[in-house]
Amino acid sequence: MPIEVIPPSDWSGEEPTLRIQAEDSSGNLKEIILSTNSSEYSWGSSPYIFVESGDDALIDIHGTDATSSVVDTFSGQLVWTESGWLLPSSISSPGEISVDLASTLRYNMSVRESSSRSVVCSIPGSLENLISTCSISNGSYDFTYQALLIGDDGNVIDALFGMIGENSTGVINLSAETWNPEPGKRSLIIRVLDDKGMLVAGGSSERSFDIRRTDWNVGIGELELVGEGPNQRVNVPTKRLNENLLEDADCIITMRAGSHYSEHLVDMTQAFVPAPKFERPDVEDETELVVTIGCSFPWDQDSDPSDDEAVLVLSGRNSIEDNIDQFGTGLLTAILVVGLYLGVAWIVRNYKEREMMMEIAQSVIDEKISKMGDKHENEENIVPTDNNEDEEDDELEIIDDTPSDEDSDLDEYEKRLRRLLDR
């Protein structure tokens, strides 16, 4: 692992001793002591150089450019490129580089002979039954290898060291049985290294997985409308199970009604079960409101999908106006009923009074007719003795039919009845 130590911008040239510590996940601790010195030139890349036989290593030296003179003890003058200096590979050994005849930089080169063995690696199988395998082809020399199965967090899940003899093939199998990844996008990597720790050509493969957990649940309870009119709200009670697993989960409540669509972020890990209230969608009554809850990957599949949706038919939006209209209609109906009742009562009363008057008039007429018949019989039985008496009997009774002021307002029927009663 290359480590570059960069001094502060105000460094005045002191030469302190540095201690660098490194610790792995198992608690193993290593440290090195570095002595520093001030120089115009220094390594810009690692002085531990690994290169294939016949190739050039690309190195970087601070303080140099195309005009600098960089000379290797084995290869002589090095060639400058825009990417750095080219150092030819020769043999695996330490070496020195002279820069402008003013500074000397030491390095350690490891030259690796190209392998004639080809390796093919893959990670087939399902998540519950993963198989990590590599096939090693035939070769004319012994092949010592190190195979590693590594998680995306850098931890080694399985490792295998071995050797395949000359003129032999081999197969490497690694197990992912102990792999217990956290939910999310996760990956496995298989690598095959040779005896010098170099990656073998074709000896690498990677596969990605979508890791989910389903031992949790969120859901929607029974929806409820709160209030009436324009200020009406929708109460959305929620349900949850094992919400402690949903840390950092993005859960969203969606509302759909007619042309309305909205999303609302809700924290399902809070102390109390959420029961948010949202403004009622601006749609007509009798519209179906569909409310759903769901969380983003990797929390997009819970243990009970049946309670992820609830439906409610909206009502009460125009209740105030409806009540006013109903009150007006009821009042008008009441007025019509009362008026009709009074009219019928007045007609019935007049009819009864007229019927009663008719009965009284008929009774008086019958009585008058009876009296006139009795009088006629008496006159026939009496012998006339005096002409004066006859003349008196023949005298007519004159009745003044001129209506008085009092009777002027009576109708013809009542006038006739009055005259009969006065006789």
Do the domains 119-211 and 217-317 sit in the same CATH topology, yes or no? yes
Q: How many CA atoms lie within 13 A of 308 on its CB side?
A: 16
pLDDT per position as a tens digit, 196-215 = 787 888 889 999 999 998 89
The span from the CA of 301 to the CA of 25, in Å, is 32
Cβ neighbours of 191 (radius 10 Å): 18
Question: How high is the pLDDT of residue 25?
Answer: 80
Q: Who has greater pLDDT, 332 or 185?
A: 185
State the amino acid at position 367 in one-letter form.
Answer: E
The span from the CA of 365 to the CA of 373, in Å, is 12
pTM: 0.52
The span from the CA of 97 to the CA of 141, in Å, is 35
Asked if the model's pLDDT at residue 344 lies above 80, the reply is no
Q: Who has greater pLDDT, 377 or 36?
A: 36
pLDDT per position as a tens digit, 160-193 = 999 998 888 999 999 999 999 989 999 999 999 9
Question: How high is the pLDDT of residue 383?
Answer: 46
Torsion-angle region of 291 (φ positive above 0: left; ψ -120 to 50: alpha; else: beta): beta
Asked whether the beta carbons of 39 and 62 are under 8 A apart, the reply is no
Asked if the model's pLDDT at residue 310 lies above 50, the reply is yes
Q: In percent, how much of the chain has pLDDT > 90?
A: 42
Question: How high is the pLDDT of residue 324?
Answer: 56
Q: How many residues does the chain have?
A: 423
pLDDT per position as a tens digit, 381-400 = 544 444 444 444 444 444 44
HEC profile of 69-108: CEEECCCEECEEECCEEEEECCCCEEEEEEECCCEEEEEE
Q: In percent, how much of the chain has pLDDT > 70?
A: 82
The span from the CA of 40 to the CA of 62, in Å, is 8
Joined together, the tokens standing for residue 88 give 């030819």
Q: ω into residue 298 within 30 of 0, thus cis?
A: yes
Q: Which CATH architecture has domain 217-317?
A: Sandwich (2.60)
Mean pLDDT value across residues 76-90: 90
Place of tokens 């209740």: 319
Q: Who has greater pLDDT, 234 or 401?
A: 234
Per-residue burial over 325-360, b = 16 or more CB atoms within 10 Å of its CB, e = otherwise: eeeeeeeeeeeeeeeeeeeeeeeeeeeeeeeeeeee
HEC profile of 126-191: CCCCCEEEEEECCCCCCEEEEEEEEECCCCEEEEEEEEECCCCCEEEEEECCCCCCCCEEEEEEEE
Topology classification of domain 119-211: Immunoglobulin-like (2.60.40)
pLDDT mean across residues, the chain: 82
Domain 17-112 carries which CATH code?
2.60.40
Question: Where does the pLDDT of residue 408 fall: very low under 50, low under 70, confident under 90, or very high at 90 and above?
Answer: very low
Give the residue extent of every domain in the chain.
Answer: 17-112, 119-211, 217-317, 339-378+399-422
Mean pLDDT value across residues 35-53: 85
